[in-house]
Amino acid sequence: EAGVAQSPRYKIIEKRQSVAFWCNPISGHATLYWYQQILGQGPKLLIQFQNNGVVDDSQLPKDRFSAERLKGVDSTLKIQPAKLEDSAVYLCASSLEFGGFQETQYFGPGTRLLVL
C-alpha cells in the first residue's frame, strides 16, 4: 500500500515570497492533517480535513496560511507571504477516519522549508 506522498521535499525561499506544498493521502483515507514541526518541538496541528470539509483550523495563521482539499483527496497548503519563523518541517498525515479505532495517523516524509 502506498504511503502518504508529499512534495516538494525541500524548499528554500526568501521572506515575503509565496510557497505551496502538496499532499496525497493514502487511498481511501477520509481525514487529512497538516502539521508544522519546528526544530526541537512536537508537531503542531495547522488544519484538519474530513473529506473536503474543515474540522479544525484553529491554529492556522489565516492571514498568511491557506489550505484546501477540493475533491476530498489530495491537498495543498500555501504560505503567502512567508516569514522567517515559518522555517519548519510541514508534515501531512492521513487516517482512515477520525475517532474510534481507525484514527491512526500515517505521516508523509514532510517538506523542509527554509525561509531566508
Task: Establish if 40 lies at the interface with other proteins (CB under 8 A).
Answer: yes
Cis peptide before 81 (omega within 30 of 0): yes
Stretch that binds other proteins, among 14-22, 32-40, 65-73, 74-82 (CB under 8 A): 32-40
The CA–CA distances, whole Å, from 10 to 32, 90, 111 equal 21, 10, 5
Residue 56 vs 74, nearer CB to other proteins:
56
Task: Establish if 25 lies at the interface with other proteins (CB under 8 A).
Answer: no
Enumerate the β-bridge partners of residue 5: 24
Q: Which residue ranges make up the site for other proteins (CB under 8 A)?
A: 33, 35, 40-45, 48, 55-56, 58, 91, 98-99, 101, 103-110
